[in-house]
Amino acid sequence: MRICPICDKQHNKATTLVKLRGKYNPTRTHYQYPNLQWVHLPSGERIKTCTKCRKKIIASF
């Protein structure tokens, strides 16, 4: 899954307007996923976390 295990950040449902001729403007829905990166924990474990949590982990070393 594309979920951060530390802060439980998940996908965000986004809609964008698709401009067509006339008054009918359907919207397109898509998901925005968090930017997950590999990070090494002090215990030697390697997990995927979002970039915000990654910065916190790296700063705590």
Structure confidence by residue, pLDDT tens digits, 21-34: 656 666 778 899 99
Tokens for 19, please give them.
């401009």
Q: Closest Cα partner for 41 from 52, 28, 54? A: 54
Q: Average pLDDT over the chain, rounded to whole?
A: 85
pLDDT tens across 6-54, in order? 999 999 988 776 666 656 666 778 899 999 999 998 889 999 999 999 9
Res 14: pLDDT = 85
Q: What is the pLDDT of residue 38?
A: 95
For the chain, give the secondary structure using H, E and C. CCCCCCCCCCCEEEEEECCCCCCCCCEEEEEECCCEEEEECCCCCEEEEEHHHHHHHHHCC
What residue ranges do the domains of the chain occupy? Answer: 12-59
Whether the predicted model's global pTM rises above the 0.85 cut: no
